[in-house]
Structure 1
Amino acid sequence: MAPTRTRLTHPQLAALARHAFGLTAGGAALPGADEYEDAEGVLVATRTDGALAVREVPRWRSPESVRAELERRGWAGVAAWVGAPPPDAAGLPAVVLALLPVAGTAPDSAAISTLAAAWAPVARDRAVLVVPVPVTATAPEVAWPELAAAYGAAELAGVGTPAPLATGGRAVLFTGLSGAGKSTIAARLVELLLEAGRTVTLLDGDEVRTHLSAGLGFAKADRDTNVRRIGWVAGQIAKHGGIAVCAPIAPYAATRADARALVEEQAGPGSFTLVHVATPLAECEARDRKGLYAKARRGEIAEFTGISDPYEEPTDADVTLDTRALSVDESARAVLTHLGLG
């Protein structure tokens, strides 16, 4: 039987790193499989007879390598600081090991670069070594003094206010039946954001199908791929501080959750907003200028959402819009208010 292989998420890769570095007791909590790979498909660990063997730990520097670098630099009695530097860095020691707890964040996240860059002014008049570590800031899996000691610090000088990393970028995904009003409301939201001086990219469902997802059909696997691609692109935009507005049908709950995870891994918790345009099926059919619902009812269109293919109504929507009671402008402004950008 061929070995089972699974791709690890960023939090799972961080757990693998903690296990490999001996930072936490017990094994890493990973899904059942024989082989594990990172986001690029590189084999990082195997499991044989229940025993986990780590082949490599991408991205993370081991405590051993950091201790070796401190020794090469001739830094003795190094003090560690966890997280961002304090507002007043005057009281920091002359030599600092800055440990950035960024477990669960994508390796190329702009949030990590922003956090590391905050140490640049501090490094002008003191020796600073910045090291990202596979620990969660808000719920550390390792006590801060133990973490500092593992990476070669003689003492813990302090801990910055733990806070989730965030780039300031956002992704808004509209979901709803065909004809619900998603594209129209999304376009108006883009106008309002541009008027407010924001950098915005619109990923409309039909245009994405023409370009990004050309060649995909409407079977469940193809629909899932389409929404995940949208989520990934939206995450890239949000990662760099922009705002992505997306308007696919996105009929399946699990795939919408995947899109949320793809964005928040890149731009930080809370960077994804799910908007359910909850126009009822009967209203969507009544508005149907293209006659698509009629064709679907006659069996001329296969796998049509709401007729011959299911639409899983969101239970986790951040904003729900009833377009029977709200105009396009009122709907868009409701989303803008939720985003805190109105």
Structure 2
Amino acid sequence: MDEMTRVRELRAEAPAPDRGRLAAGRTRLTEAARTKEGRQGLWRRREFVIVAVVAAVTAVAVTVTVLLDGTTPGSRKVEPAATPNASLKGLSAAQLLERAAQLVEKEPDAAVPRADQWIYTLQMSESPDPGTVKMLGRAAIEQPGWIRYDGSAMASLNPVPKGQKAKLSITKMHLENGGEGDDRSPRELYRVMDALPAGARQTLTFLREKNAIADGKGVPQAESDYTEISVLLSADVMPSKGLASLYRALATLPGGKVTDHLVKDASGRRVIALGYAREDNPKSGESMADQWLLDPQTYRIVGMRMVLDGKVVGGNSVAARAVVDKAGERG
């Protein structure tokens, strides 16, 4: 039984996701289909599966980013960047990523979670669709979720009528060693990042040899490299030096563009936007781009969204993340 079937059975009452919330995930699935190869890629992010089924729609005011925030076992406090208010005007993607790499590689790693611990993530999902905004009264939806570090289970909150306490639903999974679909556990992604070489070129060579996501026929090497890197950049737990390696590898790829001012993410937080152009929509000719959102103090990624002809059409921002001992805990 595949992962999506099990999730749907568990959460049959969950509302259907809107187009904006699934835009980025749909784009990646389209890319996979274009390869026309029988072999599945070994990695595929869970985020858009979670987005499709988690529907806690209570209002939230999030003003602080918590990235393994030092309050729970295996957590860390991140020192702010020395120049958090530095101007972004005229800054190239390579310059930004090198700045980010220099900062994050100096950070001490938190304790690696135990296999039986959970990663709690609070995401804010952008929903620019007018119908959703009218129904919920806002353009962002709170989405708490949990996944065990060893990938053996996921958890979410069932939607309930207003005034009632949401119930936690846990479903068993098998996300390690190709056990279920082409997903991988947080532990597997961490181990790959921990093994990355320090240099940009060496990191690209490492990823190409691993070829965790099958290269599409006729797809430029830079595009395949970007796909490999983007999967790892969405990992739940990241070793500092591994993240620095990914930043430096990404800096060698073409197409990156830094927005020359801070933008607001789904939680209202001001962040750096780093865009990477995708293939234009073949039917409409509209330009598409991924936009990675970086905290201007820590230079860690706090979200990603899809941009269509310059307009944000969907995405997620991480408002909080922590290592906890059981599903339902928030650190």
Fold shared, TM-score > 0.5 on shorter chain? no
Higher alpha-carbon Rg: 1
| TM-score band w.r.t. shorter chain | under 0.3
- Using structure 2 for the length normalisation, give the TM-score: 0.25
